[in-house]
């Protein structure tokens, strides 16, 4: 009898699940505390009071953020040698995959599946699609780490909610450590040009110049996305400066991802509110609600519609090829170019 080849859960998957449950439990506890301090009516009143021009500016910043997101896929495909993939394909893959993962969570499963559907039609090998997903994720993390490092050094106010329990200059030391990590990796990528081999797959990490491109793409994306929320928070009293807020936004994004909740729902809000204790909670929650509409909900609807159109076109193309084959045989190679 053939050995069962189905994947089995290991300690890493169990640890990840446990961490996600812990974060969700903390989020539920935190949101329960917040619910006792602010009412839904307060939040709705703050939403209605938000100036229209700020919503428009936030929408523009959100749009620019999604434009920059195309750079993730552009960088990854070019690094792997797929220089002939056009901008329309890159934009479609980036927009649909990111809108799915932003809303539904579980990035590898949701955004990864979308990228697989689109890039296989463009002639990309499945192993390379996995590497595209990995490179996009690494670009995101480089941007997160760099922004957090700069923000903690230039504007060290993140630990104010727990100042009495942490040592002085904690933020500056953490920021310096984060920047040292980014600098160290960039230098390593510059001087160490060996390739890695995993089974039959050989891969070379981006060089120093390419790493700087990754940092620039990730940083600009984070600044525009976080900037959209910051714009909506401008009327709210007690909001920190932009650099400090971008660090808070980065922490909220990472924590929401660790929770594996769809869109980090609940967890993202808890971190934003918790790390701005002096800000009006109703105003912050109202801004986050508007941000979710602009950055998550509307793009998700557009991404789903675009994905449906692309799948319908692919289905019609496959049927047309099948009709041209002798006897109307199924087109098993519809994705082959």
Residue 1 lies in a domain: no
- The answer, yes or no, to whether residue 197 has pLDDT greater than 80, is no
Residue 196 lies in a domain: yes
Residue 10 lies in a domain: no
Element (H, E) at 197: strand 195-198
Domain count within the chain = 1
Q: Parallel, antiparallel, or unpaired for β 195-198 and 201-204? A: antiparallel
The predicted-structure confidence for 271-312, as pLDDT tens digits, reads as follows 888 888 888 888 888 898 899 889 988 888 898 888 888 888
Confidence of residue 219 (pLDDT cuts 50, 70, 90): very high
Model pLDDT, residue 46:
73
Task: Locate 232 and state its tokens.
Answer: 């909506």
Residue 153 lies in a domain: yes
240: helix, strand or coil = coil
**Stretch among 118-132, 176-190, 218-232 having the lowest mean pLDDT:** 118-132
The average pLDDT across 92-118 equals: 81
Model pLDDT, residue 34:
45
Task: Kindly give the residue spans of alpha helices, DSSP state H, lying in 160-207.
Answer: 170-191
Model pLDDT, residue 336:
42
User: Cβ distance 283 to 48 under 8 Å?
Assistant: no
**Residues 256, 105: Cα–Cα separation, whole Å:** 9
The predicted-structure confidence for 45-73, as pLDDT tens digits, reads as follows 777 888 999 999 999 999 999 999 999 99
Residue 332 lies in a domain: no
Element (H, E) at 202: strand 201-204
DSSP string, 264-324: GTTHHHHHHHHT-TTS-HHHHHHHHHHHHIIIIIHHHHHHHHHHHHHHHHHHHHHHHHHHH
User: Cβ distance 311 to 322 under 8 Å?
Assistant: no
Residue 330 lies in a domain: no
Model pLDDT, residue 334:
43
The average pLDDT across 129-147 equals: 92
**Residues 108, 260: Cα–Cα separation, whole Å:** 11
- The residue segments making up the domain with residue 191 are 38-314
Residue 183 lies in a domain: yes
Nearest to 246 by CA among 218, 267, 266, 265: 218
142: helix, strand or coil = helix
Taking the model in full, what pTM does it have? 0.79
Model pLDDT, residue 271:
84
297-306: which pairs have CB atoms within 8 A and are 24 or more residues apart? 297/103, 299/62, 299/66, 299/95, 299/98, 299/99, 299/102, 300/99, 300/100, 300/102, 300/103, 302/95, 302/99, 303/95, 303/96, 303/98, 303/99, 303/100, 304/99, 304/100, 306/92, 306/95, 306/96
**How many secondary structure helices (H) and strands (E) does the chain include?**
12, 2
Q: What are the two backbone dihedrals, phi and then psi, of residue 261, each rounded to the nearest 5 degrees?
A: -80, 150
Taking the CB of residue 48, how many other CB atoms lie within 10 A of it? 8
Residue 285 CB burial class (10 angstroms; 0-12, 13-18, ≥19): buried
**Residues 224, 205: Cα–Cα separation, whole Å:** 27
**Residues 179, 70: Cα–Cα separation, whole Å:** 25
- CA distance readout (Å), 161 to 72, 166, 283: 34, 10, 19
Residue 8 lies in a domain: no
- The answer, yes or no, to whether residue 117 has pLDDT greater than 70, is yes
């Amino acid at each position: 009898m053939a050995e069962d080849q189905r994947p089995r859960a290991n300690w890493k998957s169990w640890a990840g699940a446990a961490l996600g449950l812990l974060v969700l439990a903390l989020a539920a506890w935190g949101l329960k505390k917040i619910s006792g301090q602010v009412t839904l009516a307060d939040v709705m009143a703050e939403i209605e009071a938000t100036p229209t021009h700020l919503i428009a500016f936030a929408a523009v910043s959100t749009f620019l953020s999604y434009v920059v997101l195309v750079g993730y896929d552009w960088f990854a495909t070019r690094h792997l040698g797929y220089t002939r993939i056009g901008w329309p394909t890159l934009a479609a893959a980036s927009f649909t995959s990111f809108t799915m993962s932003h809303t539904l969570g579980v990035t590898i499963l949701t955004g990864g599946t979308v990228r697989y559907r689109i890039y296989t039609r463009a002639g990309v090998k499945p192993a390379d699609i996995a590497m595209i997903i990995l490179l996009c994720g690494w670009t995101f993390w480089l941007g997160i780490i760099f922004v957090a490092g700069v923000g903690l050094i230039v504007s060290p106010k993140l630990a104010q909610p727990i100042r009495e329990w942490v040592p002085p200059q904690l933020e500056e030391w953490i920021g310096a450590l984060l920047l040292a990590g980014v600098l160290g990796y960039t230098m390593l990528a510059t001087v160490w040009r060996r390739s890695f081999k995993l089974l039959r797959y050989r891969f070379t990490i981006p060089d120093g110049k390419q790493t700087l491109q990754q940092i620039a793409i990730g940083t600009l994306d984070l600044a525009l996305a976080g900037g959209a929320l910051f714009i909506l928070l401008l009327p709210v009293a007690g909001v920190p400066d932009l650099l400090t807020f971008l660090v808070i936004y980065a922490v909220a994004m990472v924590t929401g991802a660790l929770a594996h909740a769809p869109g980090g729902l609940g967890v993202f809000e808890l971190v934003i509110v918790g790390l701005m204790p002096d800000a009006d909670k109703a105003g912050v929650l109202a801004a986050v609600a508007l941000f979710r509409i602009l950055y998550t909900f509307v793009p998700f609807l557009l991404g789903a519609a675009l994905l449906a159109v692309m799948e319908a076109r692919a289905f019609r193309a496959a049927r047309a090829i099948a009709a041209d084959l002798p006897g109307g045989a199924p087109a098993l190679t519809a994705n082959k170019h």
